[in-house]
Amino acid sequence: MASTRDIRRRIKSVKNTAQITKAMQMVAAAKMRKAQSAALIGRPYAQLMNEMMAKASEGTVGFNHPLLQSRPVAKRAVVLISSDRGLCGALNSNLFREVVKLDKNTVFITAGKKAAQFVARTKRTLAAEFSYKDTPEFTEARAISKLAQQLFLKGDVDAVEVLFPRFVNTLTQQPVLVPFLPIGKITATTAGINAPKQELTEHSTPQIFEFEPDEETVLGELLPHSLNFQMHQFLLETKASEQSARMVAMKNATDNAKEIIKGLTLEYNKLRQANITKELLEITTAQMAVG
């Protein structure tokens, strides 16, 4: 049986751990609000860009672009986006379960240290490794997107997909695998991003687009930019998912630590009371023996 001194040490140790997890929870909560705001703000822009591209494609006949050309898929690349650090619950492990389902011949482009470590540990082919900040910048996303486009245009891969944890809400982050290249048919929906389309009301007017010099020129310029923006949005979604998962994980850890402290304190009080009772019995027995 543990002594009162051992229990006091365990209580102190758990309290120190609880202080750390509480501090991490507060930091993650502050970052979470900023990351969620950035991810949600970008969705309407992504939706509007897709609507504009879809409208431009309607005015083109026989429009052809290298990023639109589909071919039989002999080799594919996957952009795997993860967090840089752990302590964010099952976010990364759920993501990596989807990787296990992929073909072993898949080439990976990683964004985030955990993704790069997983690809290296499982001995999969790594084409390139990227990092991104707590507030992902457009230049970081553009570098990833540009490499993916180069691999596709050179014929090194026949298709590119993106695997990332999509932000649903604070408690839910869903790993999704979305197509990236070839672009295929241009529609007004945004792949992998929940961007609710605004319904027309009594006082609202539909979007009207005018293209200069013509639809084909505008569409040709927008296609690479739209891919860059999509990649930036994927990074924002991942960061919002990471901070949300970390905040929830640290809150659960803090609550569990408090429960452990409560149980240890009860055990300590019982043991202390038993020791006091034992000492009283010994004193009483000694007095009766002397008397």
* Parts of the chain belonging to CATH 1.10.287.80: 4-20+252-290
Q: Does residue 203 have a pLDDT over 60?
A: no
CATH for 4-20+252-290, options being 1.10.10.10, 3.40.640.10, 1.10.287.80, 3.40.50.2020: 1.10.287.80
pTM over 0.85: no
pLDDT, tens digit (0-9, with 9 covering 90-100), for 1-54: 678 888 889 999 999 999 999 999 999 999 888 888 888 888 788 778 878 887
| Number of Cβ atoms within 10 Å of the Cβ of 106 | 17
Strands in 172-181's sheet, in edge-to-edge order, are 125-130, 107-111, 76-81, 159-169, 172-181
Separation of alpha carbons 231 and 145, rounded Å: 6
Structure tokens at 12: 């102190």
Per-chain mean pLDDT for the chain: 85
Decide if 91 contacts 83 (C-beta within 8 A): yes
- Identify the residue with better confidence: 206 or 240: 240
- Identify the residue with better confidence: 264 or 209: 264
Active-site residues, by number, are: 88
* Parts of the chain belonging to CATH 3.40.1380.10: 24-197+207-248
Average pLDDT rounded to a whole number, residues 120-133 = 92
Instruction: Give kind and range of the element (H or E) at residue 179.
Output: strand 172-181
pLDDT, tens digit (0-9, with 9 covering 90-100), for 276-285: 888 888 788 8
Q: What is the pLDDT of residue 104?
A: 79
Q: What is the pLDDT of residue 38?
A: 86
Separation of alpha carbons 117 and 62, rounded Å: 44
Instruction: Give kind and range of the element (H or E) at residue 166.
Output: strand 159-169
- CATH code: domain 24-197+207-248 is 3.40.1380.10
Q: What is the pLDDT of residue 187?
A: 65
Decide if 112 contacts 132 (C-beta within 8 A): yes
pLDDT, tens digit (0-9, with 9 covering 90-100), for 73-101: 889 999 999 999 888 989 999 999 999 98
